[in-house]
A and B are shown apart, each in its own frame.
Chain A
Amino acid sequence: MATSLEISVNGKRHAVLYPPDTPLLVVLRDELGLTGTKYGCGEGQCGACTVLIGNMPRRSCQVPLSAAVSQPITTVEGLEQNGNLHPVQQAFLDAGAFQCAYCTSGMIMSSVALLRQTPNPSPAEIAKSLQGNICRCGTHPRVIEAVTRAATAIGQGRTR
């Protein structure tokens, strides 16, 4: 049965009427129109649907709506502020860390979460924490470079 639930996404509260077991991904995309978060597999294996719940990276295809009500949700659309890209977004841009870019939102969200937890990760730590994000185009070395650049940029004071 559809139930009215309130979620906070990118700093805005939304009342949504959905069955509580609906994947958060569906609500974000179909109800809120936040299509930056992608469907890739529906089993939490590819990472394309990664969002932050609190500071934790979560696969939104595996999170039921009812489990997303208590903490603020951040999607890729919520990173940019006042027209300024988040340092991780900027670093992906600067490193050209994409080809088709369908995985990019998820890669960026996982990387943002990593840098909040580990401000100066080694390449091995980056690889380990992005292990659940699939890139079929093979841009992995550039993604590692982008996250390393972002860590430096954040360390130099562009804190986020």
Chain B
Amino acid sequence: MSSAPHRFDSHAATGQPAIEPERYEFFSPPAHHFHLARRDFFKLLGAGVAVFASAKSAAASAQETPASSRGFHNENLPNDITAWLHVGEDGTVTAFTGKAEIGQNIRTELAQTVADELRVPFTSVRMVMADTALTPFDAGTFGSRTTPTMTPQLRRVANAARDIFINAAAKEWNVAPDTLQAAGAKITNPATGRSLTYAELARGKALAQNLPAEDPVTPPNEWTIAGKSIPKVDARAFVTGAHQFTPDMTRPGMLQGKVLRPPSFGATLISCDDSAAKALPGVVTVRDGDFVAVAAPTEHQAQQALAALRAQWKESPAQISNANLFPQVKQKASEKSDDRHRGEQGSVESALAAAQRRLDATYTVAFIAHAPLEPRAALAEWTRDANGEKLTVWTGTQRPFAVRDELAATFRVPDSSVRVIVPDTGSAYGGKHTSDAALEAARLARAANHPVRVVWTREEEFTWAYFRPAGVIEIKSAISPDGTLAAWEFHNYHSGASGIETPYVIPNQRTEFHPVNPPILRSGSYRGLAATANHFARESHIDDLVHTAGLDPFEFRMKNLKEQRLRSVLEAAAKSFGWPGKKAQAGQGFGLAVGNEKGSYVATCAEVTVDRASGSVKIVRLVEAFECGAIVNPDGLRNQVVGAMIQGLGGALFESIEFENGRITNARFSRYRVPRFSDVPEIEAVLLDRKDIPSAGAGETPIMAVAPAIGNAIFNAANVRLRSLPLIPRGLKA
């Protein structure tokens, strides 16, 4: 991801003199970040039992590390000991996590996990999430990391709390702790039949414990609350409209902010006359470097003020258009591949040279947008107390601590003076990693001396967020007469390395990712990252090889795949789908694709019908089998899997950001087509529950086999091989 969009130049941003003494401490992560002291913690939440732990113990080893000057320092986590769990005198359990709820239903899943391990009813658990003042440090909610890292962490925490209660009861009764049992929010002594509730044990106490290094947690086959389809927590607030997303929040005296955007990518501001805007009643304007923005009491006034700004821009001469996109990608990509993602085995050159059947092909993937229905938004408020200035920002972000750090760095205040709170957010899909709206709202609030809310318009969201990177993928391959793969050379240019490694058994292979630095346009994470692009290319190419060899796509994969979990999802999908499909009508086609990424496994089967005369393609049916270890919430997982399949239809079939001379020409829903009801085929998700395998995340991988399965089905139906995503933005032209 490219750097933050705003570098505020003037000292007005910081309220400091123009010549700033060197303050390096502001630009390196704090060695210690002191959250609430234990005493203060109990003062805040009341007496009871609490478990503390270092954030390091929960460090998510993130699969992706968005480049940022600071803010993502997983190598350098603060050593602070923070509270993870509190049980109050009324038995209410509060658990703390820096993860954010963005529609993936993790609030429910984490509460289930805590309840399960602590042996309390699900309804007694409250999750406090993504609040930098209250929750432990967290790198961010991305990479499908919450389930594999946060559920075990919260289990360990809940387990430690259970130990506190057991020890407290043992002391009370003067018996050995290991003779007691924890269940139903109480400790029971089976020998005497006596019991004490957690609430009774917590009463009047301030018992705290650090997380022990090792303490075995409950295995999945003994789960009682986890593993069940518990409905979304707070769901009622969403169907009544009561839940407040960031754009719904207000503060007393709040102004609405709007930012002046450049006419095209890379344009720089030459001049801006804000006198007419400033003359409007109640309007505040800010000019700081290239950042020009207004704030006013109402939306209407803010719009008028924005329209009254007279700005001159110098546009960048080298402008991107769709026509030259892929040649540019190849041209700008580094010859040298990224070593971290380089794989080599055997000799590709000699295997290719010796091969009787070779296939070389190039695939392309367009830039696409996340288009979360809740656009980027932030509400910022500066306050002053005895300890100095404080900044509070409510914003829908996947990385609250990184946003806090960027705000602190930008405004040159200590991290401890900035609090970022993430209300449960109207989705993100990897698109809300940056601090754009937070910086804008905070800069305006600083100038206006009022709280300011900035809500991006849909056009801003499409244009000034960041994109899933476009890419070019080149494959050279060879197949042996016995139907095994002899050689495989795979180069991804620009789009990314996720899922780049082939799961097929191939003796001679080379895999390389060639980054473009800086990326063409502002690019960043998107659900599944480049795994969708890499699987599209690989599985389309494999399908071509299968066809060349005259084999069945399922049989061929079973022959060339060794990994048992991968074979299991493939078999499950094929079985539910009824592979091989029998063609009952002209234009009907069946395709399948398979893959694994981020510890989970997916196979997707597609049925399409193609009308060659009109070029119309109908996706009739999708069947997907998915396996991510032990399932924490089956209904929540099913919702995620089906949702990813439907979202995947967009990128597979028609989503593409269109550029003309550095401008986006389809930055609105009337021109950028996303899946709607009429696009949704018959869908079946087959979930394999592996209680013997630790749970992996499920937010991303279910998206990545949709496009190749459909592409392969179109080939099967019409004998046309499509090698670009989106596959059929304008139907299938003969």
Contact = CB atoms under 8 A, between A and B. Distances in A.
A46 B462 CA distance: 14
Interface in A34-82: 34-43, 45-46, 48, 75-77, 79-80
Interface in A79-96: 79-80, 85, 89-90, 92-93, 96
Contact of B426 (A33, A43, A102, A127): A102
B372 interface: yes
B292 to A, nearest CB: 21
B235 A96 contact: yes
Contact of A30 (B102, B104, B298, B643): B298
Nearest to B248: A35
Contacts of A158: none
Dominant secondary structure at the A interface:
loop
Contacts of B373: 38, 40, 46, 48, 100, 102-103, 134-136
A76 B374 contact: no
B458 A127 contact: no
Interface string B272-298: 000000000000000000000000001
A37 B242 CA distance: 10
B680 interface: yes
A85 B240 contact: yes
Contact of A46 (B104, B455, B644, B669): B669
Given A35-B248, A100-B426, A85 B239 contact: yes
Contact of A137 (B103, B243, B247, B680): B103
B427 interface: yes
B458 A41 contact: yes
Dominant secondary structure at the B interface:
loop
A39 B102 CA distance: 17
B232 A96 contact: yes
Most chain B CB inside 10 Å of its own CB: which residue of A42, A92, A100, A101: A100
B445 interface: no
A43 B671 CA distance: 11
A39 B669 contact: no
Most chain B CB inside 10 Å of its own CB: which residue of A128, A133, A140: A140
Given A41-B669, A100-B103, A100-B373, A136 B674 contact: yes
B235 A98 contact: yes
Given A79-B240, A139-B643, A141-B683, 8 more contacts: A39-B375, A41-B669, A45-B669, A85-B240, A99-B643, A126-B677, A138-B643, A141-B642
Interface of A: 18-19, 22, 26, 29-30, 33-43, 45-46, 48, 75-77, 79-80, 85, 89-90, 92-93, 96, 98-105, 108, 126-128, 130-131, 133-144
Interface of B: 102-105, 231-232, 235-236, 238-245, 247-248, 250, 256, 298-300, 371-375, 424-427, 429, 455, 457-458, 635, 639-640, 642-647, 668-670, 674-678, 680, 683
Q: 4 tightest CB-CB pairs across the interface, nearest first?
A: A36-B241, A100-B103, A102-B426, A138-B646
